[in-house]
């Protein structure tokens, strides 16, 4: 009989993906959590994995061989945690199990940073796939090119989304210290996770621990001249570093020599919405132009993500020209500016952006593509960091590229959003009920010039962007159903 592994907290992105990998290894797999939502619930069902809502000690009879414990909502005092400790059954954190049972003896390409991990990991896995390297991967979302968030793969190469959040109630280190990558991307580094990190310096310490685990023949890819990342590098680095120039600064082909050693990757932008750009490299000997990416993705942040991927794939042996071809067929990731409804001149998007920087980048990219069309941002600031009000001042300006913003005040918000709405640089409103929010959007009158939009013949004239890293009270489905029943645009 196959070894039985039980996942406590199986509905989370990491834990659900680990359960799928365990199933692929031939283990008997089961687990429990609170309500499990798509797309993870769909993936677990498709994999034939038994899941339970809520925990009952009977789920551990007969006793599994190993229990893998997640970190989301599983502190001491949780009934499941207490039962595991009393049972005497061997247990391990999800990140440690991944590091020891999946990643040992593999070429790990890890994607870390405050923003863009899921998109960048998805791009990298797709590039390696197109190069015939058949990588394994574990990603915090569902890449549309694959339709799944995790697989074992058939070669030593494995792409992993490397999260700095803590590992479990019994291991307060960041998850990524268990992964031991050979190739590391650091997309960016800002203060986040205010529930576990007191300041940016505490996060930088964890990144320093990560860097200490990378071999001298490895490669670290970082932003050029981002002080928060350079501080980590200066704490000690024994690995070559390549740097990527912020795509929003690459307005011209000419590029000055970087003041930092190592390769410098940059883009020569061809379009305002960043959907076309040439890939350039300045190394110790010369400058190179490897060709042009033309894709459906938009925004400077995605160009930077792509350059990170091209540099990482090159380290694994993929020529940049081959990476460029693969990126041109990249289809994006579910919940990353994903169109969930389109009718006539209305588009509704589901987007995972939940930090002011990510919100700003996404809306700027949309504005660059659609010019004077109307953009309405609907934002639920639900992360621990946002709910504590850590970034409240940044919220005033992060939606500037939109025409208006609706802030949703969930029960977890511990501060008053009204000051943000009052000081916001664009018209802002606040709702605390999803039904009222949907009614407001349905009845919102068309902007006076919307029918004269220069993009009307090419695409939508109104864009509603729902931004949250959670289920948002089912508002996505409610809004789509409401517009289907009462189309107003």
Q: Could you tell me the CATH number of the domain that includes residue 434? A: 3.90.190.20
Are 80 and 123 part of one and the same domain?
no
Q: What is the mean pLDDT of residues 172-189?
A: 96
Return the structure tokens found at 174. Answer: 């960041």
Q: From 268, 299, 327, give the residue that closes a domain.
A: 327
Q: From 273, 306, 327, give the residue that closes a domain.
A: 327
Q: What is the mean pLDDT of residues 227-247?
A: 95
Which of 94-98, 146-150, 333-337 has the least mean pLDDT? 333-337
Q: Could you tell me the CATH number of the domain that includes residue 75? A: 3.40.50.720
Q: Is 282 inside a domain boundary?
A: yes
Question: Do 408 and 431 form a contact (C-beta atoms < 8 A)?
Answer: yes
Are 362 and 409 part of one and the same domain?
yes
- What pLDDT sits at residue 358? 83
Q: What is the CA radius of gyration of the chain?
A: 23
Residue 455: is its pLDDT beyond 50? no
Are 272 and 173 part of one and the same domain?
yes
Number of Cβ within a 10 Å radius of residue 35:
9
Are 92 and 157 part of one and the same domain?
no
In tens, the pLDDT along 288-304 reads 999 999 998 988 889 99
In tens, the pLDDT along 392-421 reads 778 889 999 999 999 988 777 766 788 888
Q: pLDDT class for 2, splitting at 50, 70, 90?
A: low
- What pLDDT sits at residue 11? 92
In tens, the pLDDT along 68-85 reads 999 888 999 999 999 999
Sign of CA dihedral 166, 169, 171, 175: negative
Domain containing 260 equals 103-327
Closest CA to 407 of 381, 441, 439: 381
Residue 389: is its pLDDT beyond 50? yes
| Percent of all residues in the chain with a pLDDT value above 90, rounded to a whole number | 66
Are 235 and 349 part of one and the same domain?
no
Residue 337: is its pLDDT beyond 90? no
Q: Is 332 inside a domain boundary?
A: no
The overall average pLDDT reported for the chain is: 89
Q: Is 333 inside a domain boundary?
A: no
Are 178 and 323 part of one and the same domain?
yes
CA distances from 417 to 241, 253, 391, 396, 420 (A): 41, 43, 12, 10, 5
Number of domains the chain is built from = 3
Query: Coil, helix or strand for 24?
Result: helix
Are 129 and 206 part of one and the same domain?
yes
Q: What is the mean pLDDT of residues 325-343?
A: 90
Q: What is the mean pLDDT of residues 108-137?
A: 96
Closest CA to 221 of 304, 324, 318: 304
Torsion of CA 356, 357, 358, 363, to 10 degrees: 80
Q: Is 323 inside a domain boundary?
A: yes
Residue 385: is its pLDDT beyond 60? no
Are 283 and 345 part of one and the same domain?
no
Q: What's the rounded Cα separation, in Å, for the pair 26 and 297?
A: 37
- What pLDDT sits at residue 448? 61
> When comparing pLDDT for 249 and 299, which is higher?
299
Q: What's the rounded Cα separation, in Å, for the pair 141 and 477?
A: 19
- What pLDDT sits at residue 452? 45
Number of Cβ within a 10 Å radius of residue 456:
14
Q: What is the mean pLDDT of residues 469-478?
A: 84
Q: Is 418 inside a domain boundary?
A: yes
Are 280 and 178 part of one and the same domain?
yes
Q: Could you tell me the CATH number of the domain that includes residue 231? A: 3.40.1190.10
Are 432 and 479 part of one and the same domain?
yes
Are 72 and 124 part of one and the same domain?
no
Q: pLDDT class for 252, splitting at 50, 70, 90?
A: very low
User: How would you label 101-126 residue by residue, b for 16+ Cβ within 10 Å and e otherwise?
Assistant: bbbeebbbbbbbbbbbbbbbbbbbbb
Are 349 and 369 part of one and the same domain?
yes
Q: From 57, 80, 96, give the residue that closes a domain.
A: 96
Q: Is 142 inside a domain boundary?
A: yes
- What pLDDT sits at residue 457? 41
């Amino acid at each position: 009989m196959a070894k039985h592994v039980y996942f406590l907290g199986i509905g989370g992105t990491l834990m659900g993906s680990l359960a799928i990998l365990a199933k692929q290894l031939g283990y008997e797999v089961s687990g429990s959590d609170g309500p499990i939502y798509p797309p993870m619930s769909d993936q677990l069902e498709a994999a034939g994995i038994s899941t339970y809502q809520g925990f009952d000690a009977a789920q551990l009879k007969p006793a599994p061989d190993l229990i893998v414990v997640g970190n989301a909502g599983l502190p001491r005092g949780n009934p499941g945690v207490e039962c595991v400790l009393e049972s005497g059954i061997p247990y391990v954190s999800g990140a440690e199990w991944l590091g020891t049972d999946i990643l040992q003896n593999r070429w790990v390409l890890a994607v870390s940073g405050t923003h863009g991990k899921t998109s960048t990991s998805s791009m990298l896995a797709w590039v390696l796939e197109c190069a015939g390297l058949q990588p394994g991967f574990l990603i915090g979302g569902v890449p549309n090119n694959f339709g799944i968030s995790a697989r074992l793969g058939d070669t030593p190469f494995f792409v992993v989304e490397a999260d700095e959040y803590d590992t479990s109630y019994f291991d307060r280190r960041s998850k990524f210290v268990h992964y031991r990558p050979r190739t590391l991307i650091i997309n960016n580094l800002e203060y986040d996770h205010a529930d576990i990190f007191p300041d940016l310096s505490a996060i930088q310490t964890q990144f320093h621990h990560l860097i200490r685990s990378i071999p001298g023949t490895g490669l670290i890819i970082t932003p050029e001249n981002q002080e928060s990342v350079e501080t980590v590098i200066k704490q000690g680095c024994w690995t070559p570093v390549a740097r990527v120039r912020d795509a929003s600064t690459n307005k011209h082909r000419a590029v000055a020599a970087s003041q930092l050693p190592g390769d410098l990757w940059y883009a020569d932008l061809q379009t305002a919405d960043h959907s076309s750009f040439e890939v350039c490299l300045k190394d110790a000997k010369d400058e190179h132009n490897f060709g042009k990416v033309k894709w459906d993705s938009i925004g400077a942040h995605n160009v930077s993500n792509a350059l990170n991927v091209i540099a990482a794939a090159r380290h694994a042996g993929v020529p940049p020209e081959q990476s460029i071809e693969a990126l041109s067929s990249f289809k994006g990731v579910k919940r990353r500016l994903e169109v969930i409804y389109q009718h006539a001149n209305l588009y509704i998007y589901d987007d995972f952006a939940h930090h002011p920087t990510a919100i700003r980048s996404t809306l700027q990219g949309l504005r660059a593509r659609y010019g004077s069309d109307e953009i309405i941002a609907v934002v639920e600031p639900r992360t621990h960091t946002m709910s504590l009000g850590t970034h409240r001042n940044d919220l005033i300006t992060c939606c500037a590229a939109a025409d208006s913003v609706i802030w949703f005040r969930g029960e977890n918000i511990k501060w008053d959003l009204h000051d943000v709405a009052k000081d916001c640089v664009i018209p802002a409103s606040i709702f605390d009920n999803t039904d009222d929010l949907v009614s407001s959007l349905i009845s919102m009158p068309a902007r006076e010039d919307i029918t004269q939009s220069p993009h009307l013949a090419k695409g939508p004239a109104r864009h509603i962007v729902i931004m949250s890293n959670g289920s948002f009270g089912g508002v996505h489905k409610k809004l789509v159903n409401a517009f289907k029943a009462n189309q107003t645009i």
